[in-house]
Amino acid sequence: MSTNVPTNAPILMKNVYQKIFPQVKSELRYWSKRAKEIPNEELRTQALASIKDKKFHCQGGSVYSLLAGDMWREAIRFIVAYQTISDYLDNLCDRSTSLDPTDFRMLHQSMEDALSPGNEIKNYYQYREEQADGDYLVDLVQTCQQVLLKIRHYSIFQSQMVQLESLYSDLQVHKHVVHNERIPRLESWFQQHQQRWPMLSWYEFSACTGSTLGIFCMVSYGLNDQMTEELAEKIFDSYFPFLQGLHIMLDYFIDQQEDEEEGDLNFCNYYQTPQELEQRLVYFVEQTNYHVQTLPDRAFHEMIQHGLVGLYLADPKVKKMKQFETIVKRLIRVSGRKSQFFHWNIKIYNRLAGRN
């Protein structure tokens, strides 16, 4: 078990506001400055938009740096760089000029290379018109590689990390192609994995692959020199599918209206009824809670689960979701008192941040 890992919510939030958020802000300021220097207008636009609109992904992910002990700054450096790659590529696949799966696959090769310090840098824009990014993506990849080189026994858990990344990249390729190919591709992809995770539907499996939290957890423990083969397997099994699935299902849950307006795929739309959606979200909460019991620093991982529920359901978008009011109340209730604490804490923080 790690020393100095917060075991209660008030201490966790104090760390978040005093240590983590300022450090994340400093890292993002650097990447924002780099993004402004990108020569190609389209790439520059998407890079800046991904930082501006999705910085809370870096803030949330960086909570894992508390598992890294004295190396917490290095953990944040990795988490912000890796999450920035993820958010930037998501914009390039989702909001940009291409619908080509070969292009998406090549772009996401950068995420595998970021986790593989021995891999050579490639031209990740090979299959698209826009090329000149002033080495922005390469710098992000090399920043991740440099941090991983500081982990003594990285080879012990690299394969689990790459497995999570590979599932993530597959999702990004399949869900961003032309509209009529998306669902057939996602369904046939799930068929390859259904035997291992038979308790999921294709849309739940897709959601579970869309989170980077398992990777952040492993890197942070690795920087604290605590990773073993056994722990790597435990983290993989307790984060995938349930905790990662809960993370992304909540993300889709609050984005339903937005995605409908934008014509984007939303995995919450495939449940037959709102009752089924509620039942399955509660199932993910319960399964997450059950699976994190095997981990060291159990109280910390439980707080991550409570924090996810509190964070997402405190989002201002939720106010407009009158038809899902009962689901919101039940999820907070099922998640327990700590979720309520995070829920109110984050609501107040959002309100104060909005004034600044």
pLDDT at 356: 47
Confidence of residue 3 (pLDDT cuts 50, 70, 90): low
- The radius of gyration of the chain's CA atoms, rounded to the nearest angstrom, is 19
Question: Max CA-CA distance within the chain?
Answer: 51
* Distances, alpha carbon 142 to alpha carbons 16, 92, 99, 112, 136, in Å: 26, 20, 27, 12, 10
Predicted local distance difference test score (pLDDT) of residue 146: 98
| pTM, full prediction | 0.94
pLDDT one-digit tens code per residue, 33-68: 999 999 999 999 999 999 999 998 999 999 999 999
- Name the residue among 208, 200, 194 with its Cα closest to residue 240: 208
Cα distance between residue 36 and residue 228, in whole Å: 40
**Percent above pLDDT 70 for the chain:** 98
How big is the CA angle at 200 (ends 194 and 202), to the nearest 5 degrees? 70
Are 141 and 113 contacting, i.e. CB atoms less than 8 angstroms apart?
yes
* Residues 82, 87, 90, 92, Cα dihedral to 10°: -100
Helices (H) and strands (E) in the chain, counts: 17, 0
Query: In the predicted model, is pLDDT for residue 1 greater than 70?
Result: no
Summarised one tens digit per residue, pLDDT across range 249-307 is 999 999 998 888 888 889 999 999 999 999 999 999 999 999 999 999 999 999 999 88
Using alpha carbons, select from 69, 61, 67, 74 the residue that is nearest to residue 21. Answer: 61
| pLDDT tens track for 231-257 | 999 999 999 999 999 999 999 999 998
pLDDT of residue 264: 83
∠40-45-48 over CA atoms, to 5°? 120
Q: Is the omega angle on the peptide bond into residue 198 within 30 degrees of 0, that is, cis? A: no
Q: What is the pLDDT of residues 68-100, one digit of tens each?
A: 999 999 999 999 999 999 999 999 998 777 889
Asked if residues 199 and 233 have their Cβ atoms less than 8 Å apart, the reply is: no
User: How high does pLDDT run on average in the chain?
Assistant: 93
CA distances from 200 to 131, 167, 190, 261, 284 (A): 39, 15, 9, 27, 10
Q: Which two tokens stand for residue 139?
A: 């710098």
Residue located via tokens 């095997």? 294
